[in-house]
A and B are shown apart, each in its own frame.
Chain A
Amino acid sequence: MPAYEPWTEQRTATIIAEHRDAEGPALPILHALQEAFGHVPEEAVRMVADALNVTRAEMHGVVTFYHDFRKTPPGRHVLKLCQAEACQAKGARDLAKHAKARLGIEAGETTPDRQVTLENVYCLGFCATAPSAMLDGRPIGRLDAVRLDALIDEARS
Chain B
Amino acid sequence: MSIRIFVPRDAGALAVGADEVAGALQAEASRRKLALTMTRTGSRGLYWLEPMIEVETAQGRIAYGPVAESDVASVLDDIASGSNRHPLCLGLTEEIPFLKRQSRLTFARCGIVDPLSVDDYRAHGGYAGLAKALTLDARRAHRAGGRVRLARARRCGLPDRHQVAHGGAGASAAEIYRLQRRRGRQRHLRRSHDHGRRSLRSDRRHDDCRASRSAPPRATSTSAPNIRMRSRR
Interface residues of chain A, those whose CB is within 8 Å of chain B, are 22, 24, 27-28, 31, 124-126, 128-129, 132, 134, 137-142
Contact = CB atoms under 8 A, between A and B. Distances in A.
B230 A140 contact: no
Interface in B11-41: 11-12, 14-16
Interface residues of B, number: 13
B223 interface: no
A30 B215 CA distance: 32
Given A28-B226, A132-B15, 12 more contacts: A22-B225, A22-B226, A128-B12, A128-B48, A129-B12, A129-B15, A129-B16, A137-B230, A140-B15, A141-B12, A141-B16, A142-B15
A124 B226 contact: no
A139 B11 contact: yes
Contacts of A126: 11-12, 15, 47, 231
28 contacts: A22-B225, A24-B226, A28-B225, A28-B226, A125-B11, A125-B231, A126-B15, A126-B47, A126-B231, A128-B12, A128-B47, A128-B48, A129-B12, A129-B15, A129-B16, A129-B47, A129-B50, A134-B231, A137-B231, A138-B14, A139-B11, A139-B12, A139-B231, A140-B15, A141-B12, A141-B15, A142-B15, A142-B16
B228 interface: yes
Contacts of B14: 138-139
Contacts of A128: 12, 47-48
Interface string B200-226: 000000000000000000000000011
Nearest to A31: B228
Contacts of B231: 124-126, 134, 137-139
B25 to A, nearest CB: 20
A27 to B, nearest CB: 7
Interface string B45-56: 001101000000
A126 B225 CA distance: 22
Contacts of A142: 15-16
B226 A27 contact: yes
Nearest to B45: A128
A128 B48 CA distance: 7
Contacts of A141: 12, 15-16
Nearest to A141: B15
A27 B14 CA distance: 27
Contacts of A140: 15
A1 B231 CA distance: 14
Contacts of A129: 12, 15-16, 47, 50
Nearest to B229: A125
B15 A139 contact: yes
Nearest to A34: B228
